[in-house]
Amino acid sequence: MFANQGIIMGSAETIPRQQTVNTHRGGVPMRLYGYRRKNGRVGIRNHVLVIPTSVCAAETALRISSLVDGTVALTHGHGCCQVGADHEQTVRTLAGFGQNANVAAVLVVSLGCEGIRPETITAAVRDCGKPAAQICIQECGGTLRATEEGAAQLSKMAQQVAQINRTPMNISELILGLECGGSDFTSGIAANPVVGMVSDMLLDLGGTSILSETTELIGAEHLLAKRAVSPETASCLLSLVKKTEERALAMGVDIRGTQPTPGNLEGGITTIEEKSLGCIHKAGTARLDGVLEYAQTPPSSGFYFMDTPGQDIESVTGMIAGGAQIIIFTTGRGTPTGSPIAPVIKVTGNSRTYHNMPDNIDFNAGIIMDRGVPLREVAEDLFKIMLAVCNGRLTKAEIHKHHEFGIFRVGFTF
């Protein structure tokens, strides 16, 4: 349910990608352990998630979660008076978070009269073989009674989930989301190329990577299109970029009014094309196996592009709703952004930022520029950190409970 809708063009099956055993380059074993779900997918975290179906249920969902340790709630401003593709995208995103392998169980909280029906989300989660329950605020008799009943159900879920143990997993089961935000001139020179190498390493071992941010392909889209697995895939990618530009023009505005952002300009990025050239370094050298719509799950392993906005939180949300269990996020100027259910590893190419924001940045790729450390050496270090995070090491965003969540809207509220 919701897993394979959308605009995929091309397939990883068109040109077979070599599948490898769970070993690092040189044959060094990589022992990874995750939480195996009944549908076969494996998570690297074991969350109990509270999903409000609308903004009207968001505060109650947050109160329920606050009473039960080990649980997390999504808070959002959507779920009612949306129509067509906009409604469908919100449903797909909420369901995708519940279906993500990092989630073990879900409680759905509804007001009772919103546009998104709670049973739709509950059914999507149960289709994965996970426990899912729902409560309705109106049927419970208001906030206090709904909070009490919800906390009671959530407590039972949390106790059950706590008994799930990690078991061996293969690195080929990992889906990595690639993101950049708060970029400066060091992002395209150091941080993004390092992440591109990490992505290539994962793909060589049979894993999956997702690049996002359609806005940040503008001016460089032809370079990524040349790497497409088929002419249809290339055409689909180019069409997405064109539609993004046309959407801005239809509003009577120039997209260059927001891209690069004021922070990008202060950080030394001068044009949208320059920003895009830096952004696609996160794609490494891999072929492009397909194009995904927002919050869509890749059909098989490989490298994919997902149609998301350049807004960091909405972009990260889309990739996680599409199945990414982990995010590597590069930032030159620094940002604390995290996620409710997936670890977000923060990488900077600016050593000044690394030392200025120790609460938020996990990895310093600035040593490439400061000390001349080889790109490959830095990439291998980051790859090892990614594996450690998969095995349970907390990122700075997780430690400080950064649970940012935002859904990409594609229509009006009525």
Task: Assess whether 140 and 113 both reside in one domain.
Answer: yes
Whole-Å CA distances, 316 to 122, 181, 320: 23, 10, 6
Rounded Cα–Cα distance for residues 188 and 246 (Å): 26
- Rounded Cα distance between 70 and 50, Å, is 11
CA angle 359, 175, 107 (to 5 degrees): 75
Q: How many structural domains comprise the chain?
A: 2
Are 93 and 233 in a shared domain? no
Considering the domain boundaries, does residue 197 fall inside one? yes
CATH code assigned at 122: 3.40.50.2300
Let me know if residue 166 belongs to a domain.
no
Same domain, 374 and 232: yes
**Which pLDDT score, from 0 to 100, does residue 272 have?**
66
345 with 389: CB under 8 angstroms? yes
| Bridge-based pairing state of the strands 290-292 and 175-180 | unpaired
Does the residue 65 lie in any domain?
A: yes
Q: How far lies 284's CA from each of 28, 189, 198, 358, 362, in Å?
A: 23, 13, 8, 27, 21
DSSP state letter for 6: S
Q: 271 and 367: one domain?
A: yes
51 occurs within a structural domain: yes
Reported as type and span, the H/E element at residue 275 is helix 272-279
Q: What angle do CA 233, 300, 121 make, to 5 degrees?
A: 100
Of how many residues is the chain composed?
Answer: 414
Indicate whether 206 and 320 sit together in one domain. Answer: yes
Q: Does 184 fall in a domain?
A: yes
> Which of 161, 193, 208 delimits the end of a domain?
161
Domain of residue 355 covers: 171-399
- Helix, strand, coil percentages (3-state) for the chain, rounded to 5, are 40, 15, 40
Residue with tokens 């709670």: 118
| Same domain as 385, residue 249 | yes
Both 154 and 182 in one domain: the answer is no
What is the three-class DSSP state of 405?
coil
pLDDT at 258 (0 to 100): 65
| pLDDT given at position 18 | 32
Decide if 408 is inside a domain. Answer: no
- Please name the residue that has the structure tokens 């071992």: 205
Query: Where among 95, 128, 161 does a domain terminate?
Result: 161
pTM: 0.92
| Domain assignment of residue 17, yes or no | no
Of 128, 161, 194, the domain-final residue: 161
Same domain, 101 and 191: no
Mean pLDDT by 10 residues, the chain (414 residues): 48 34 47 96 98 98 97 96 97 98 98 97 97 98 98 98 97 97 84 95 98 91 96 97 89 71 69 73 95 98 97 97 98 94 96 96 96 96 97 98 97 92
DSSP tag of 167: E
Backbone φ and ψ for 116, nearest 5 degrees, come out as -85, 120
Backbone angles phi, psi at 150, to 5 degrees: -65, -40
Question: CA separation (Å) from 75 to 53, 406, 410?
Answer: 10, 8, 19
Q: Are 133 and 227 within one domain?
A: no
Same domain, 153 and 249: no
- Pairing of the two strands 326-330 and 175-180: parallel
Tokens of 152: 């009671």
Residue 403: half-sphere exposure toward Cβ, Cα within 13 Å: 15
State the Cα–Cα distance between residues 263 and 267, nearest whole angstrom. 6
Same domain, yes or no, for 139 and 56?
yes
Residue 299, both tokens: 């059909």
Residue 377: how many CB atoms within 10 A of its CB? 12
> Do both 58 and 130 map to the same domain?
yes
Q: Tell me if 36 is assigned to some domain.
A: no
